[in-house]
Amino acid sequence: MKRGFIFDLDGVIVDTAKYHYLAWKNLANQLGFDFTKEQNELFKGVSRKRCLEILLEIGNREATQEEFDTWMVEKNVDYLKYIENMDASEILPDVPRVLEFLQENNIPIALGSASKNAQPILEKVGLLHYFDAIVDGNNVTKAKPDPEVFLLAAKQLNVIPENCVVFEDAVAGVQAANAAKMMSIGIGDKNVLAEAQLIFTDFTEISTNFIKSLIEK
């Protein structure tokens, strides 16, 4: 019987990966190299700091600590400009249907995201009220694939990890859910997310009856 549902944010609830990509690309271009959409796949589920480290490896650039810190801030300021005007139209298809069904059935819902911008995004798109717990980049010390973020979310929901379901679009996120001994549901490409217990392209493929079967089983 599944009693806690944990959602990743970027790429699961909203398609913010495209804004992260644009902000990293702008920074790369400013530093004199390009950054492709394919390379951006490596950034999914990965902390801001780790993303910058990978970006600098891609561009073969060294950075002083001061430069590193400045570029982290610059990327985020740029990203915030992209998300400033986000609204409910940017929620991924059928996410509200699933959240609504869970809430109606009194199933606790948590966010488990690497982002430090998670709460304002949920507010902007009008979904914050569904969440009983928010665990994000501000609350964890170890990044996905470490299970910390999901274990903390389960604790806040007061549900044992084995009774939790995680929705994730990133390989590192699926690995984190598996490491936490939770049911991992991949949202996206089945070849990329092969380690997930179940994989769906998006929430339109996840029927309400399926969710019902998880909570009743």
Catalytic residues: 8, 10
Which one among 46, 127, 171, 185 touches ligand BG6, defined by CB under 6 A?
Answer: 46
Examine residue 175 and tell whether it contacts ligand BG6 (CB under 6 A).
no
Span of 64-72, 120-128, 170-178, 199-207 interacting with Mg ion by CB under 5 A: 170-178
SS (H, E, C) the chain: CCCEEEECCECCCECCHHHHHHHHHHHHHHCCCCCCHHHHHHHCCCCHHHHHHHHHHHCCCCCCHHHHHHHHHHHHHHHHHHHCCCCHHHECCCHHHHHHHHHHCCCCEEEECCCCCHHHHHHHCCCHHHCCEEECCCCCCCCCCCCHHHHHHHHHHCCCHHHEEEEECCHHHHHHHHHCCCEEEEECCCCCCCCCCEEECCHHHCCHHHHHHHHHC
Span of 57-65, 111-119, 159-167, 178-186 interacting with ligand BG6 by CB under 6 A: 111-119
Which one among 19, 112, 115, 145 touches ligand BG6, defined by CB under 6 A?
Answer: 115
| 134 versus 214: smaller Cβ distance to ligand BG6 | 134
| 39 versus 76: smaller Cβ distance to ligand BG6 | 76
Q: Which partner from the list Mg ion, ligand BG6, none does 25 bind, CB cut-off 5 to 8 Å by kind?
A: none
Examine residue 188 and tell whether it contacts Mg ion (CB under 5 A).
no
Q: Which partner from the list Mg ion, ligand BG6, none does 115 bind, CB cut-off 5 to 8 Å by kind?
A: ligand BG6
Residues lying near Mg ion in the complex (CB under 5 A): 8, 10-11, 169-170
